[in-house]
Amino acid sequence: MDETGDQHSINQRRQDGLVIVTVVFTSLSILAVSTRTFLRAFMLRKFGPDDWAMLGALLFSCGYFAEIIILKYNGAGHIMTSLTVNNMLNIIKTTLAIQCTYYACVNCIKFSILLMYLRFAVTGTLRRACYGLIGLHSVFLIICLCVTLAQCQPLGKMWDLTRTAPGTCINTTAFFYFTSAFNIITDIAIFALPIKTLVGINRPKKEKYALVGIFCVGAFATVVAMIRLHTIVTYTKATDPFRDSLLVNVWSILEINIGILCASAPALKPLFSPQALREARYGSSGPPPKRTDYHYHSRGKSGTEIKSDIQVEQEFSDRSISMGPIPSSRAHVVGGRDSSKSSRDSVDEILYNNRY
């Protein structure tokens, strides 16, 4: 049965809602990561591995955006009977690509957060925990990609609409539940990991509370991941997966882009505080002192400050009130001695000889 006019309008609005959410949140992620990259690379000149990982997450987020557009032009969100065979094949193949993109993006975000922790990790325990979680998620990402690309043997059976092609497929429902639950548990662990360290650092209380607040906001991404898990349950039980796939994609888009925004927020902090920007660039001691034209002799010499001609003339002028005329300005005094006389003649001797 084809869609009625009202059904088509409702499904079209749902599809448009997915596209709007994708455009808005992907644009926010592009803005945040671009600003972060400019700040770290050109202003602070402290571009690190966590920034590279975040650029990777943004790349996959943009890839997800392109995949959503492909879904839209193939009628995703509309009922199965209103789609052509090519539409359905394209939706299934794009869904496979979305699964890989999602796993890669989520893990890049977590890599970026853990690598950022290593910037301020002051205890061996925190550093070991960060490296351990990075290793765990590296293995998890490889497993997810391998299982996703091998979920059916042969892979073409995944888009066998007639269900007559030879081959087998894994229980993808159980796999999706496992990966979603794993991501939620590790999200909680990652966001809770640095709180003790942040509370203990030697910073003003307001600043410490702000940092803790930023990381707590990241917990919202975990809540979104939980909602996404619920939509996966609904999707796997749906009789029309082509129509009911929109909700999973909406919450997946929200999860990865909110994750990017939360993970980039601490890196953007210097942008809103000149003092924080100065400290981030030069450290707590401030910018290095400017060099001047005044230097000192080594300890093995006179140890007297080298003075310019103007300073010497001013000094002689001050003394000439009671000591008579000053010597010609052509006489250059270096290290407290007259360069036109022998090294035994001091400034006081020159002044004494010129009293009358």
pLDDT tens readout for residues 44-75: 888 999 999 999 999 999 999 999 999 999 99
pLDDT value of residue 37: 94
SS3 206: helix
What CATH number does the domain located at 5-282 have? 1.20.1070
CA distance 185 to 170: 24
b/e sequence 326-356, b meaning 16+ C-beta within 10 Å: bbeeebebeebbbeeeeeeeebeebbeeeee
DSSP class of 301: S
pLDDT value of residue 354: 47
Number of neighbours of residue 30 by Cβ within 10 angstroms = 16
Residue 347, amino acid: V
The CA-to-CA distance between both ends of the chain, in Å, stands at: 122
Mean pLDDT of all residues belonging to the chain: 80
User: CA torsion angle for 242, 248, 253, 258 (degrees, to 10)?
Assistant: 170
- Sorted by where each begins, the domain ranges of the chain are 5-282, 291-356
pLDDT value of residue 121: 81
What does 259-298 look like in DSSP terms, one character per residue?
HHHHHHHHHHGGGG-HHHHHHHHH-TT-SPPPP-S--B--
Going residue by residue through the chain (356 aa), what tens digit of pLDDT does each one get?
566 778 888 889 999 999 999 999 999 999 999 999 999 988 888 899 999 999 999 999 999 999 999 999 999 999 998 999 999 999 999 999 999 999 999 999 999 999 999 988 878 888 999 999 999 999 999 999 999 999 999 998 999 888 888 999 999 889 999 999 999 999 988 888 887 777 676 767 776 666 666 666 677 888 888 899 889 888 888 888 899 889 999 999 999 999 999 889 888 877 776 665 555 555 545 555 555 444 444 444 444 444 544 454 455 445 444 444 444 444 444 444 444 444 444 444 544 444 44
pLDDT value of residue 98: 96
Please report where in the chains the tokens 């400019």 appear, as a residue. 38
- For the record, the structure tokens of 149 come out as 């690309």
> What ranges in the chain are assigned the alpha helix state H?
5-38, 49-73, 85-120, 124-149, 172-192, 195-200, 205-217, 219-236, 241-268, 274-282, 309-323, 347-353
pLDDT value of residue 278: 59
Contact 327, 350 (CB under 8 A): yes
